[in-house]
Amino acid sequence: MSAPVLILVNKPAVGIDVPAGTQPEFERRDPGEPQLSVLDLGTTRGDGVFETVMVSEGRAPALAAHLDRFRASALLLDLPEPDREVWGRAVEAAIAAAVAEAEAAAEAAAEPAVLAVKLVLTRGIEGSGRPTGWVLAQPARDFTAMRREGVRVVTLDRGYRHDVASTSPWLLQGAKTLSYAINTAAIREALRRGADEVVFTSSDGFVLEAPTASVLLREGGRFSTPSAEVGILPGTTQRRAFEFLRSRGHDADALRLRASDLQRADAVWLVSAVRQAVPVTELDGRALEVDLALTDDLNAYLSARQAS
Ligand code: PLP
């Protein structure tokens, strides 16, 4: 396994200058050395945003969509606007360095490397007014078996109404914040209930998302996903999955979906950048159809090199 590549972004936001004494807009640092202050609000408050980008064969097919969402998340938190050009260049540099690392590692010859590239922007050290940014590229977790075997899912109430994003925007629903403790607690609850994963529902009965994935449903040949207006993260993978499904002549729509729609669905997938599409084998104890041929084709499309 090759080592992670860390790039510190010295010019993370528009209107933020490179700090005195540091010339480049970003620079490679040693991920094994301490790089982050214990006073950083990203660590003390989870006050920041992130993206995880899938890189296959050296290409990030959804990078533009991730950079768009990174900006949208930052603005929802009133963080300074990420400098898109700088982040784009930093990500490309991290990918190039990580691909070189992987090629140098002996085992890389067997499988083309899939990387997970994380972009993080925090509010920075308290009182400094200077956000902290970095890019970390590392070999991705291998989801091959999960894409074939699927996951068992339970629905859990997130405790917010479907319109929470407009009634209580300070809850930051729809932003990809660093505060994922609730998301991981929900997955632990799924494990306690004998399942692997979660689909959240709103307190008033709408389907939302998984803790780290979007949800796709199929009922009678029609595909759907919850629309982003119910206070969920607009998924980059869901968007690409719909491109694929429509190119195959399927209807695929973002809708307000009731929990009863989920219970009626004949097939369900969880989709996210690095995991890609994983079929749900069981929903609240009910066995679902698993379409392995479609799942394989969808995953081949998602890992294709071209930009979408
Ligand atoms: N919803 C949540 C809460 C997520 O954390 C994620 C990804 O991590 C997604 C949806 C899927 O987003 P993407 O397909 O862009 O990875």
User: pLDDT tens across 249-304, in order?
Assistant: 999 999 999 999 999 999 999 999 999 999 999 999 999 999 999 999 999 999 98
| Average pLDDT score over the chain | 94
Q: How far apart, in whole angstroms, are the C-alpha atoms of residue 158 and residue 233? A: 14
Q: Per the domain annotation, does 227 fall within a domain?
A: yes
**Between 42 and 112, the higher pLDDT residue:** 42
Cα 210 to ligand 1 centre (Å): 8
Mean of pLDDT values over 173-178: 97
CATH number at residue 290: 3.20.10.10
Task: Determine the pLDDT at residue 306.
Answer: 57
pLDDT over 70 at 112, yes or no: no
59 with 122, same domain? Answer: yes
Mean of pLDDT values over 117-130: 96
Q: Per the domain annotation, does 190 fall within a domain?
A: yes
157 with 286, same domain? Answer: yes
Structural tokens at position 77: 């938190």
Q: Per the domain annotation, does 204 fall within a domain?
A: yes
149 with 289, same domain? Answer: yes
Cα 34 to ligand 1 centre (Å): 28
28 with 62, same domain? Answer: yes
Identify the band that residue 170 occupies on the pLDDT scale cut at 50, 70 and 90: very high
70 with 113, same domain? Answer: yes
pLDDT over 80 at 19, yes or no: no
Range of the domain at 275: 145-303
160 with 284, same domain? Answer: yes
133 with 219, same domain? Answer: no
The residue contributing the CA closest to ligand 1 atom 3 is 212
117 with 220, same domain? Answer: no
Identify the band that residue 243 occupies on the pLDDT scale cut at 50, 70 and 90: very high
Ligand 1 pocket list (CB less than 6 A): 52, 209, 212-214, 233, 235-238, 271-273
pTM given for the model: 0.95
133 with 149, same domain? Answer: no
In a mutational test of the pocket of ligand 1, which residue from 176, 227, 240 has the highest number of ligand atoms less than 8 Å from its CB? 176
Cα 203 to ligand 1 centre (Å): 21
288 with 247, same domain? Answer: yes
Domain count, the chain: 2
Around 8, how many Cα atoms within 13 Å sit in the side-chain half-sphere?
A: 18
User: pLDDT tens across 131-168, in order?
Assistant: 999 999 999 999 999 999 999 999 999 999 999 999 99
207 with 237, same domain? Answer: yes
Q: Per the domain annotation, does 308 fall within a domain?
A: no
CATH number at residue 20: 3.30.470.10
Task: Determine the pLDDT at residue 104.
Answer: 82
Tell me the one-letter amino acid at 198: V
20 with 85, same domain? Answer: yes
Task: Determine the pLDDT at residue 308.
Answer: 45
Task: Determine the pLDDT at residue 55.
Answer: 96
Q: Per the domain annotation, does 223 fall within a domain?
A: yes
User: pLDDT tens across 78-109, in order?
Assistant: 999 999 999 999 999 999 999 998 888 755 55
Where a domain ends, among 72, 105, 140?
Answer: 140
Q: How far apart, in whole angstroms, are the C-alpha atoms of residue 183 and residue 116? A: 19
Helix (H), strand (E) at residue 181:
helix 181-192
Cα 28 to ligand 1 centre (Å): 27
Cα 37 to ligand 1 centre (Å): 27
Cα 272 to ligand 1 centre (Å): 5
Residue 46's CB is within 10 A of a number of other CB atoms, namely 13
Angle at 53 between CA 216 and CA 97, to 5 degrees: 155
Tell me the one-letter amino acid at 253: D
Where a domain ends, among 91, 120, 140?
Answer: 140
Task: Determine the pLDDT at residue 305.
Answer: 61
Angle at 113 between CA 3 and CA 91, to 5 degrees: 70
In a mutational test of the pocket of ligand 1, which residue from 201, 214, 308 has the highest number of ligand atoms less than 8 Å from its CB? 214
The residue contributing the CA closest to ligand 1 atom 10 is 213
Tell me the one-letter amino acid at 71: R
Where a domain ends, among 140, 163, 183?
Answer: 140
Mean of pLDDT values over 186-213: 98
User: pLDDT tens across 50-67, in order?
Assistant: 999 999 999 999 999 999
